[in-house]
Amino acid sequence: MSHLLLVMAMAATMPTTDLGPICEPARSAALPEDRAGAYDSCVRDEQAARDKLRQKWGQFSAKARNDCAQPAAVVQSYVELLTCLEMQNGGNFGDGGSHEPTISPAAPVEPGAVGTKP
């Protein structure tokens, strides 16, 4: 029973993480002249994802939040968490538009026109 309460409490609050360990690999993998920029870009991406998560956290189901949130001992990227939650939500990335492909009917082909140039 206490495990269930712990899981429910975890799902109710948005996880927090230190961006340093998340973004350090971006710095390490970049060319020496690009390391600072790679790290700063990673931090900006993570902050943007964190801000979006703060705005939308309550809109995601408790199940999705629980499925996507890692245990507190595991460092998790806000970008990864947001992506997971959006995928759990059926891929609705907040644009409000339809994600159905638009298929146009083919133009009719006149008899004898196949293989001829206009």
- Measured CA to CA, the distance from residue 15 to residue 70 in angstroms comes to 8
Under the banding of pLDDT at 50, 70 and 90, the label for residue 75 is confident
Average pLDDT rounded to a whole number, residues 85-99: 61
- Class of residue 85 by CB neighbours under 10 A (exposed 0-12, middle 13-18, buried 19+): buried
Average pLDDT rounded to a whole number, residues 81-92: 82
pLDDT of residue 115: 54
Average pLDDT rounded to a whole number, residues 57-65: 92
Radius of gyration of the chain from its Cα atoms, rounded to whole angstroms: 23
pLDDT of residue 101: 36
Per residue in 2-47, pLDDT tens? 443 444 444 578 998 899 999 999 999 999 999 999 999 999 999 9
Coil/strand/helix, residue 75: coil
Under the banding of pLDDT at 50, 70 and 90, the label for residue 98 is very low
pLDDT of residue 13: 86
- Class of residue 60 by CB neighbours under 10 A (exposed 0-12, middle 13-18, buried 19+): buried
